[in-house]
Amino acid sequence: MQELSVRHLLGIKDITAEDIQLIFETADNFKDVLNRPIKKVPSLRDITIANVFFENSTRTRLSFELAEKRLSADVINFSSSGSSVKKGETLLDTVNNILAMKVDMIVMRHSSPGAPHFLSRHINANIVNAGDGTHEHPTQALLDSFSIREKLGEVAGKKVVIIGDILHSRVALSNIFALQKLGAEVMVCGPVTLLPKYIRELGVKVEFDVRKALAWCDVANVLRIQLERQQMKYFPSLREYTLYYGIDKKMLDSLDKEIVLMHPGPINRGVELSSDAADSHHSIILNQVENGVAIRMAVLYLLASKQ
């Protein structure tokens, strides 16, 4: 069996294009499993996985938990809100206490960029980064690219624009790395205050007019405004942001070609996307959620073989 070049999935930056293709091929097989009447395989029957979440999550947490159960792993869930973290326990002590219970793998979300990388240097268990601050969210980028491949046949040569709050988004950075490794052209679009200062150094195009960006692209991946990460005002009001950067179905229908519309969720309807756009035939947003389970099954399965 082919295997990954890494022991942990900390970020897309650390893996190769071959790793991504292996994850996709494995996910194809698991997607077949998920469409069977019995959606379960015994692949990780002897593995215990801890979901350690220090930040709120709906889709990612449910998706990982479902992926683990579909693979027959034993699952424990940890949430910092009701834990000893509130009593002053450190990250390393928290995780070491969980590992003392003979846990094989950690799926972790944390508000501090680099937290999973720090842990990987101090513990033996495999680590999957489920989002670290504004840094990376590798499984989201993998499922996004997998969804583009499923819809359009391949990622190579496709033009993908990422629209919205690039500055505070971990999804944007992971997507840029994944799409470039797979041979896509990438553009970012948003207000100048929400674009990182040196974003062009990543080899992406920059556009400030959302209509020009939509006319250029094959795929538009729309991000929400991350108000919970913003320490100051980056634009006058949400109403003004919607006026300049909101996408509706009328705008999509006015293009001279069909484009694919994506969103990592949660959607703020009426801000970055109108309801008629989010629910239109252009949208593959629910396909992304479905593919998330298969991608996470593939990642967990491949990392378990690196025990």
Enumerate the known binding-site residues for L-aspartate: 87, 170, 224
Enumerate the known binding-site residues for carbamoyl phosphate: 59-60, 109, 137, 140, 265-266
pLDDT in tens, 202-260: 999 999 999 999 999 999 999 998 755 555 577 778 899 999 999 999 999 999 999 99
Enumerate the known binding-site residues: 59-60, 87, 109, 137, 140, 170, 224, 265-266
Distance separating the N- and C-terminal Cα atoms of the chain: 15
Burial of 271-294, coded b for 16+ CB within 10 Å and e otherwise, reads bbbbeebbeeebbbbebbbbbbbb
pLDDT in tens, 19-78: 999 999 999 999 999 999 999 999 999 999 999 999 888 889 999 999 999 999 999 998
Max Cα–Cα distance, the chain, nearest Å: 59
pTM of the model: 0.94
